[in-house]
Amino acid sequence: MGSRSKVSRRDVLKGAGAVGGGAMAGSLWTPRGGLSVVAQDAATPANQAGKLPVPLGEPRFQGVALTPTSDEFLGPLFEWYGDDLNAEAGLEFNETVLFPSYTEIESLMPELISGGELPYDLMSYSSVYFGDIVATGQVEPLDRYLDQYAGVEEYLAGVMPAYREFYTKSRGETYGLMCDGDVHVFHYRPSLFNDENLRNRYEQRFNTPLIVPDTWPQFAQTAQFFTEELKDKGIYGCQLQGARPFGFSFWLDIAAPLGVKYFSEDMQPMINTPEAVQALELMMELKRWSPPGTENFGGDQIIGNWQQGVVAMCDWWIDLREFSARANVPVGRDVNDTVMPGWEVNGEVARRSTMAFSRTFSIPANKSQEVKDAAFYAIYRLSHPDYSLYSCADPYCGLDPYMDIHYSDQAAELYVTGNPLRETADAYPENNGIFVGDLQAAKDHLAAGRANVEVGFPQPNWPGAAEYIDTLSLHVQRALAGEADAKRALDDAATEWTAIVERRGRVEQTEYYAGFVTAAKALGYW
Amino acid sequence: MRVKQPLTLPAAARVARPRRATGLNRSLGPRLMVAPAVIVVLALTLFPMLWSLQKSFYAWFPSRGATSTWVGLDNYLWVFTSERFWNSMGNLAFLLFFGVGAQMVLGTALALALYEGVGNARLRVLLLTLFLLPMMMPPIVIGDLWAFILTPQSGVLNFLLRQIGVPAQNWTGAELGMLSITITDVWQWTALPLVIAFSGRSSLPTSIYEAARLDGASRWFVTRRITLPLLKDLLVIALLLRLMDAYKFFDAAYIITRGGPGTATELPGLLTYLVGFKDFDIGRAAALTWVIGLIAVIVMQSLWNMLRTRRA
């Protein structure tokens, strides 16, 4: 029997029974006082419009047992919140069907395309596969479900626009709800930037003070400095994740602010423009200031090196700081995160942070209406801040912020306390919060996340995304490994991208990409 | 003239004599008995093979639905003109030549050393068991273990090298990546030729060795002229087994380098996996499978013929 945190699940649920709109507005929301923020009130405008309240507050789905499927890092959600959702709406969950992370295409796709009765009722998967999964035609459009519930407009408005438009919508229609928002964040070790001796030496050498780099050329110079000064002590200026399939995203952090796009509107690859080559050449220079083998580093090596204090600066996913804060590792809390460096253009710094990976919830189309209604309620509630605020702040759940409120100061408070909606168990034995006793660190961390997601750049989201990504990453890695120069590597990638377009059908690919461009234009990317 | 009386059997023997099956029964009975096994084999091997052969002539992305487009030999053309495919075959050739070669030499040498050099039977069994351990470990464990050893920054190997003043090496980089993968395979699979050679050596008659000793033959002479020729057939079997297994090498390489950096350690099996299960391009993956399979058949058959001709 696991132990409970001081605030019990029931205490938290006392405040339940309302729409989340207030939560997103932040007006009545208290981090430990209740799930929903606005007390359930039949007189709320939403209810007057005849919409279903959220939480439902009635066992509407009693007798429906849902089987979820997700990758291994999302698994506990349904264990943690199953009782609460049962209390809200009578929902029950069977054991989650787990698959290894990033194997969606081989784990889910065969089931989806078979067109038969699927062995799961709701699914969470990497947003990389959103386009492919929707294109099977086996995923339920969600707009009419959303229309049934009160507070949905506030919920949708609260989802950071790039996640909402690129990872949950296809050709204007909603097929998914966000479940995990990923974005790259720039991490550095403040102790090195504050070291008096290093500051003096940097100033003597470059005639400028040692500051946290604001542009990529500054980043390269600072990385070189740290490597040359500290390599004997086993510290390098930076590190790069070269491993496929996400190596491309670290190149994109440097290339996108230079205006590099995936394709032109008539589907000609734009990944080998002079700016794209310039970005890759800079990345190749950064390799010189990184630990040996960086061209083949995956997540394990990046996290390991960072935790061991081997690296001074690192561009990586938002949770790198969290991994260090909650572990007893040499780098300890000598970690700050901030907005990604960029390129100075017309006196301003243009920045982009790639929103690589992420996760989306969807429900299969070929289920009974009763099951689909229940499944929608489940994914909507789990995506809603009533639950997701707690999930994002919980170290035993691989979910990261994707809503405006997830980056707020109120959300930060959940990072220094336990998750009151779950108990402890063998698989998640602690419940103390990630930044125990350091609220300011939590606030800074979320502020960095928000700053980066505001300049977030989406990964490809149309059918074939994984193939485009892997091909681009392969050639970026070839350049890093010295198999090709930057121009040749990106030319090769562009040639292969053209072949992929032709092979998958130029007309269809152009049509899907037009949807991407429309959203990109609406959000100011184009 | 004596008339030959027909031989009559006792009644009991006549009863016991089995009835001769009619022509139809004689052919149908055994066939019916093996039919379930044949049907299973056909369903599980022949049908998927034919299915994949058919798919290799189509462009088919299942994420776009059941529709596939006839592309003739395009998928095969892509395979044969793909730099990536030939690069992977080159990496495979490296693994087969140096990896399997080292396993054969080391395995045989260790087997003979163990048999002839270790007198204590218990110690011999203990050492043999230790040598066999890597072969019994799951590939994922081997991959994780060697990734831990080879990681350039914090790996065990570089730590040891630094202790003796040798600079750290980028074991998973483009230059040494394939060598590292090969070393991993050698570490795991040297035990197979070892155990085959050891059992072969154990079964050789001692009289030959006594005769050689009486004739004053040196140890090296005995090994070269007696032991190895007598073990040759078994070693050929071991070689073929290892070649066939190494040909589909995938798991440890996938864990340690994922084929990278770039394509430096990409092997045909991994390439097929990526095309089939990451790009979900079933037509090309099927064509790759067939080409890789046919090359394997040709290589193995040629090797077998060569060895048979030599023996003849």
Q: Quick check: A477 and B262 CB within 8 A?
A: yes
List CB contacts (< 8 A) between B261 and chain A.
242, 295-296, 477-478, 480-481, 483
B207 touches chain A (CB under 8 A): no
Burial of A510 (0-12, 13-18, 19+ CB in 10 A): middle
Nearest chain A residue (CA) to B168: A292
Q: Is B6 inside any structural domain?
A: no
Q: Does residue B108 surpass a pLDDT of 80?
A: yes
Query: Which among B211, B24, B194, B9 has a CA at the least distance from the CA of B114?
Result: B194
Between A355 and A107, name the one with better pLDDT: A355
Q: Does residue A473 surpass a pLDDT of 90?
A: yes
In this prediction, residue A434 has a pLDDT band, given cuts at 50, 70 and 90, of very high
Q: Does residue B125 surpass a pLDDT of 80?
A: yes
Structure tokens at A419: 């998750």
Q: Quick check: B62 and A110 CB within 8 A?
A: yes
Task: Indicate the DSSP class of residue B224.
Answer: I
Confidence (pLDDT) at B14: 53
A84 close to A10: Cβ distance less than 8 angstroms: no
Q: Is B63 inside any structural domain?
A: no
Q: Quick check: B173 and A293 CB within 8 A?
A: yes
Give the number of other Cβ atoms within 10 Å of residue A525's Cβ: 17
Confidence (pLDDT) at A487: 98
The model's pLDDT over B258-298, given as tens digits with 9 standing for 90+, comes to 898 989 999 999 999 989 888 888 999 999 999 999 999 99
A160 close to A402: Cβ distance less than 8 angstroms: yes
Those of residues 27-66 in B touching chain A at CB distance below 8 A are 59, 61-66
Location of structure tokens 């057939």: B233
Among candidates B61, B66, B151 on the partner chain, residue whose Cβ is nearest the Cβ of A504: B61
Domain count, chain B: 1
What ipTM was estimated for this complex? 0.72
Confidence (pLDDT) at A358: 96
Q: What percent of chain B has pLDDT over 90?
A: 56
Q: Quick check: A463 and B64 CB within 8 A?
A: yes
The model's pLDDT over A245-262, given as tens digits with 9 standing for 90+, comes to 999 999 999 999 999 999
Among candidates A110, A133, A481 on the partner chain, residue whose Cβ is nearest the Cβ of B174: A481
In this prediction, residue A300 has a pLDDT band, given cuts at 50, 70 and 90, of confident
B170 touches chain A (CB under 8 A): yes
A477 close to A245: Cβ distance less than 8 angstroms: no
Among candidates A103, A298, A304 on the partner chain, residue whose Cβ is nearest the Cβ of B154: A304
Q: pLDDT averaged over chain A?
A: 89
B101 touches chain A (CB under 8 A): no
Cis-peptide into A385, omega within 30 deg: no
Q: Does residue B1 surpass a pLDDT of 90?
A: no
Confidence (pLDDT) at A186: 98
Q: Is B218 inside any structural domain?
A: yes
- CA dist A165 and A142 (Å) reads 14
Span B210-215, average pLDDT: 90
Q: Is B273 inside any structural domain?
A: no
Distance from CA of A265 to the nearest CA of B (A): 22
Q: Name the 3-class secondary structure at A177.
A: strand
- CA dist A420 and A7 (Å) reads 6
The model's pLDDT over A501-524, given as tens digits with 9 standing for 90+, comes to 998 889 999 999 999 999 999 998
Q: Quick check: B279 and A466 CB within 8 A?
A: yes
List CB contacts (< 8 A) between A300 and chain B.
147
Q: Is B208 inside any structural domain?
A: yes
Domain that holds residue B148: 93-266
The model's pLDDT over A319-330, given as tens digits with 9 standing for 90+, comes to 999 998 888 899
Confidence (pLDDT) at B186: 96
**Which residues make beta-bridge pairs with A65?**
A92
Residues contacting residue B15 through CB under 8 Å, at least 6 positions apart:
none
Q: Is B215 inside any structural domain?
A: yes
Nearest chain A residue (CA) to B154: A305
Q: Is B281 inside any structural domain?
A: no
Between A231 and B62, name the one with better pLDDT: A231
List CB contacts (< 8 A) between B152 and chain A.
291-293
Written in H, E and C, the secondary structure of A187-199 is EECHHHHHCHHHH
Between A366 and A24, name the one with better pLDDT: A366
Structure tokens at A291: 């630990």
In this prediction, residue A42 has a pLDDT band, given cuts at 50, 70 and 90, of very low
List CB contacts (< 8 A) between A469 and chain B.
none
Confidence (pLDDT) at A146: 97
Distance from CA of B278 to the nearest CA of A (A): 7
Q: Quick check: A470 and B281 CB within 8 A?
A: no
Nearest chain A residue (CA) to B172: A293
Nearest chain B residue (CA) to A290: B153
In this prediction, residue A47 has a pLDDT band, given cuts at 50, 70 and 90, of low
In this prediction, residue A275 has a pLDDT band, given cuts at 50, 70 and 90, of very high
Q: Name the 3-class secondary structure at A16.
A: coil
Give, in degrees to the nearest 5, the angle at Cα A276 between A274 and A489: 95
Q: What percent of chain A has pLDDT over 70?
A: 90
Give the number of other Cβ atoms within 10 Å of residue A402's Cβ: 30
Among candidates B66, B154, B279 on the partner chain, residue whose Cβ is nearest the Cβ of A470: B279
List CB contacts (< 8 A) between B168 and chain A.
292
**Is-above-0.90 flag for pTM?**
no
Give the number of other Cβ atoms within 10 Å of residue B36's Cβ: 9
Q: What percent of chain A has pLDDT over 90?
A: 76
Which CATH number is B198's domain given?
A: 1.10.3720.10
The model's pLDDT over B234-263, given as tens digits with 9 standing for 90+, comes to 998 899 899 988 888 888 888 888 898 989
Q: Quick check: B281 and A467 CB within 8 A?
A: yes
A384 close to A89: Cβ distance less than 8 angstroms: no
Residues contacting residue A417 through CB under 8 Å, at least 6 positions apart:
A5, A31, A32, A432, A433
Per-residue b/e over B77-89, b at no fewer than 16 CB within 10 Å?
ebbeeeebbebbb
Give the range among A36-40, A403-407, A467-471 with minimum mean pLDDT: A36-40
B272 close to B64: Cβ distance less than 8 angstroms: no
Instruction: List Cα–Cα distances, A271 to A252, A463, B60, in angstroms.
Output: 10, 18, 26
Q: Is B193 inside any structural domain?
A: yes
| Helices B191-203 and B177-189, packing angle to 10 deg | 30
